[in-house]
């Protein structure tokens, strides 16, 4: 059982990069009851055994873990957020609140107390807020024990990084189940996993009969990692392509979904027929599209460059990854997706994940699903 520390404690602790890593193990639990509180014991994504209150009333989510709290319909329990989530506007290099779907759905969260500044966690502020449990994404796993020791509040490490490959998907499902158990939202966690798998099945069925020779080559550009990138920033297993079994020219570079940079000569050699650009990186993308070296690309010559909403933007917007897949599908396989209105489909997906349609809000922050020009 954990008791809150009411005295002053060390005010800062270095953590929280937006890098993604970590592993998830099977969740187990036991229940203990005494006069004060009922607790459960879980095994978190780092293999740590943690005792947490059952059905916590107040929570904080660090290292980009708030998104999953919202997915699990527990945003009403959140008492503090991160600096980047509270940002009203930035210069386009880093995310701001309304650019993130879960905050577009619940902008009131942006007014909560900020519990970090830059790369430091304000453990003194966390202690004042007295959450019952703290979730920390795997990118901040190294600080979990320190936060727990300095606040007396249980810290649960969760995998909220990218999906894409089967192994990454499974780690994510296990984290949803883990967080669902801690939050008393087991049914919602199972529902969410079912929703994801239903979309996966629909997308796979739509393209199942397309021969390999009729699948055009595709490339995702501007994929952020540790900041924004131009045409050189890509993902060998970008989930939106994986869901369509699309012919990603970068697929041989790595065995997992991750942000990487390739050189100009490599992209020219690959010469993809379609390029999909993350709109979080538009300033750099536009600069590259005006670079004479890229003018000979087939996608440039044929006008097959399209903007997509950011999947990787303050960690990973899983629902946007699914919506992007429908846009990519409708673009490269119009017959198989002729029944899809992409704006309506995006809002359907956002509503299932977040409880609200937010495409119109995101369209005020980004161009939305559109063809790009190099003018």
Q: State whether 72 and 163 are in the same domain.
A: yes
47-70 core/surface letters (b: 16 or more CB in 10 A; e: else) = ebebebbbebeebbbbbbbbbbbb
- Strand 120-121 and strand 13-14: the pairing is antiparallel
DSSP secondary structure, 259-274, as one string: -EE--HHHHHHH--SE
How many helical (H) and strand (E) elements, i.e. helices and strands, does the chain have? 14, 18
198 found inside a domain = no
| Beta carbons within 10 angstroms of residue 179's beta carbon | 31
Given this model, what pLDDT does residue 33 score?
Answer: 45
Q: State whether 222 and 367 are in the same domain.
A: yes
Six-digit token string for 4: 């809150």
**How many structural domains are present in the chain?**
2
CATH of residue 118's domain is 3.40.50.1980
Note down the domain range covering 258: 212-371
Domain end, chosen from 184, 200, 228, is at: 184
> What three-state secondary structure class fits 104?
helix
- pTM score: 0.89
Q: State whether 351 and 287 are in the same domain.
A: yes
Given this model, what pLDDT does residue 190 score?
Answer: 98
Given this model, what pLDDT does residue 89 score?
Answer: 78
Q: State whether 149 and 218 are in the same domain.
A: no
Contact 313, 307 (CB under 8 A): no
Q: State whether 67 and 140 are in the same domain.
A: yes
pLDDT tens for the chain, 375 residues long, are 443 333 333 333 333 333 333 333 334 444 444 446 789 999 999 999 999 998 899 999 999 999 999 999 999 999 999 999 999 877 677 899 999 999 999 999 999 999 986 568 999 999 999 999 999 999 888 899 999 999 999 999 999 999 999 999 999 999 999 999 999 999 999 999 999 999 999 999 999 999 999 999 999 999 999 889 999 999 999 999 999 999 999 999 999 999 999 999 999 999 999 999 999 999 999 999 999 999 999 999 999 999 999 999 999 999 999 999 999 999 999 999 999 999 999 999 999 999 999 999 999 999 999 999 765
Given this model, what pLDDT does residue 268 score?
Answer: 97
Q: State whether 104 and 232 are in the same domain.
A: no
Given this model, what pLDDT does residue 120 score?
Answer: 83
Given this model, what pLDDT does residue 24 score?
Answer: 33
Given this model, what pLDDT does residue 375 score?
Answer: 53
């Amino acid at each position: 059982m954990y008791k809150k520390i009411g005295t002053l404690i060390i005010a800062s602790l270095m953590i929280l990069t937006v890098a993604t890593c970590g592993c998830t193990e099977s969740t187990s639990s036991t229940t203990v009851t005494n006069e004060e509180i009922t607790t459960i014991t879980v095994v978190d994504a780092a293999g740590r055994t943690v005792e947490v209150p059952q059905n916590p009333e107040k929570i904080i989510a660090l290292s980009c873990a708030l998104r999953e709290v919202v997915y699990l319909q527990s945003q009403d329990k959140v008492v503090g957020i991160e600096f980047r989530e509270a940002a009203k506007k930035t210069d386009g290099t880093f995310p701001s609140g309304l650019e993130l779907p879960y905050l577009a759905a619940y902008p009131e969260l942006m007014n909560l107390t900020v519990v970090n500044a830059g790369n430091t966690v304000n453990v003194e502020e966390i202690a004042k807020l007295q959450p019952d449990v703290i979730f920390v994404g795997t990118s901040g796993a190294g600080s979990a024990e320190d936060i727990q020791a300095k606040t007396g509040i249980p810290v649960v490490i969760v995998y909220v990084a990218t999906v894409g490959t089967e192994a990454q998907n499974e780690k994510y499902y296990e984290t949803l189940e883990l967080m669902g158990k801690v939050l008393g939202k087991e049914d919602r966690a199972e529902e969410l996993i079912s929703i994801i798998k239903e979309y996966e099945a629909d997308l796979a069925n739509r393209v199942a009969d397309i021969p390999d020779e009729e699948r055009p080559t595709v490339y995702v550009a501007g994929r952020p990692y540790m900041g924004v990138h131009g045409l050189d920033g890509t993902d060998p297993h970008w989930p939106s392509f994986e869901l369509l079994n699309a012919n990603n020219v970068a697929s041989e570079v790595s065995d997992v979904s991750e942000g990487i940079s390739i050189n100009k000569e490599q992209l020219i050699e690959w010469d993809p027929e379609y390029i999909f650009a993350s709109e979080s990186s538009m300033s750099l993308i536009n600069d590259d599209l005006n670079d004479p070296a890229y003018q000979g690309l087939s996608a440039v010559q044929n006008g097959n460059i399209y903007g997509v909403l950011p999947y990787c933007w303050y960690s990973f917007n899983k629902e946007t990854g699914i919506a992007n897949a429908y846009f990519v599908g409708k673009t490269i396989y119009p017959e198989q997706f002729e029944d899809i209105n992409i704006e309506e489909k995006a809002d359907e997906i956002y509503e299932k994940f977040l409880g609200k349609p937010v495409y119109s809000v995101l369209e005020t922050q980004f161009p939305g699903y559109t063809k790009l020009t190099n003018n």
